[in-house]
Each structure stands twice: as C-alpha cells, then as structure tokens.
Amino acid sequence: MLRKPPYTPCKLYYDGNAAVEVGHFLRTPAGSAYAVQSVRRDRKRDYRVHLNCLRWPEAEIPAEATVHPLHWYKRQHRRAVSLSAINKRQGETL
C-alpha cells in the first residue's frame, strides 16, 4: 500500500480514555504518525473524539511531544453484489 505524502490533512476518530489535545501526536504500530490540529468530542459516545490531523513524518516528532498509540479497527465491509448474482436471483423468482 502506498503511503500518503507528509503534511497532508486527514480526518480521524480516536476511541479511548486518553486526553488527546491539539498539538499531540498519534503513532501507529506500522510507523505512520499524525499531528492533531483540532479536536471535537462526540456528543453520543463520550469515549470518542473526532480529529483533524496532518500526516507527519515519524522521525520529526519532537522528543518532548505527547504521543498516543493509534490502532486501526478492521473495516466491516459488506460484500458487493455481482451482476451474475442479481441475474440468478431474478431467475429464481420468475
């Protein structure tokens, strides 16, 4: 998978009890890093914060910075329906 270029904006959400603030950094186990630009608390889920971030080179994170771990959720995709499956279904109902 290709990495996105550094310093490009992105939107993430962070679940957890950590107090993520503007100026903090998020780091993934794979080595990606993000600088937090703005924080919005979720009204319904008190454990979730919505973040506007910048992709950041991991080597440029300051030593004194607050860094939080970021673990990705597995996406729950529904499998797309193929055209042949639709045709089979229509053939069954006729």
Instruction: Give the model's pLDDT for residue 87.
Output: 72
**Do residues 36 and 70 touch, judged by C-beta distance below 8 A?**
no
d(CA 44, CA 34): 25
Residue 19: inside a domain, yes or no? Answer: yes
> What's the whole-number mean pLDDT along residues 55-78?
85
What torsion do the CA atoms of 25, 74, 7, 69 make, to the nearest 10 degrees? 10
pLDDT at residue 60 is higher than 80: yes
- Confidence bin at 92 (pLDDT 50/70/90): low
Q: Looking at the 3D structure of the chain, how many domains does it have?
A: 1
Number of CB atoms found within 10 A of residue 26's CB: 20
pLDDT at residue 93 is higher than 70: no
Which CATH number goes with the domain that contains 35?
2.40.30
- Confidence bin at 71 (pLDDT 50/70/90): confident
Residue 86: inside a domain, yes or no? Answer: no
Pairing of strands 25-27, 33-41: antiparallel
Instruction: Give the model's pLDDT for residue 35.
Output: 95
- Confidence bin at 11 (pLDDT 50/70/90): very high
Residue 27: inside a domain, yes or no? Answer: yes
